[in-house]
Amino acid sequence: MNVWMDDEAGPVVRPYALTRGRTRPSGETFDLIALVSAVREGGSGPEQEAILRAAQSPISVADLAVELDLPVGVVQVILGDMRDHGLISVTSQVGSRPSERILKEVINGLRAL
């Protein structure tokens, strides 16, 4: 959540500065639908604190990126740091299959376009 904004220039702190130039999280990468849950408090910056607030109940990586208004890659790097410090737990949804009802709704929605 970028509080420091300049209407003409955009965020004062650019995303690459938040990750210190890193483009990949430490350890395993995060799937967009992986669920993030806060484990304990102690974020070291406003973005981490915002993630901990949003993850009081499980929230996907993609939804966190929307919530923070940051690129997914930046959020993944921050989440990697938070995982390393024991601030969050991540549950992968890979391998779980959506129900037939959900798939039919998606197909119908695409057809309606």
pLDDT in tens, the chain (113 residues): 545 555 555 555 555 556 555 656 666 777 888 899 999 887 678 888 999 999 999 999 999 999 888 888 888 888 988 898 889 988 886 666 667 787 788 888 888 87
For residue 4, give the DSSP letter: -
Residue type for position 11: P
Residue 100 pLDDT = 78
Residue 32 pLDDT = 83
User: Which residues fall within 8 angstroms of residue 31, CB to CB, at 6 or more apart?
Assistant: 61, 92, 93, 94
- pTM metric for this prediction: 0.64
Residue 97 pLDDT = 66
For tokens 């004062």, what's the residue?
12
Phi/psi at 35 (nearest 5 deg)? -95, 130
Residue 47 pLDDT = 85
Domain count, the chain: 1
Distance CA 27, CA 4 (A): 30
* CATH code: domain of residue 80: 1.10.10.10
Residue 104's domain spans which residues? 5-112
Please spell the DSSP secondary structure of 21-54, one letter per residue: T--S-SSSPPPTT-EEEE-S---SSHHHHHHHHH
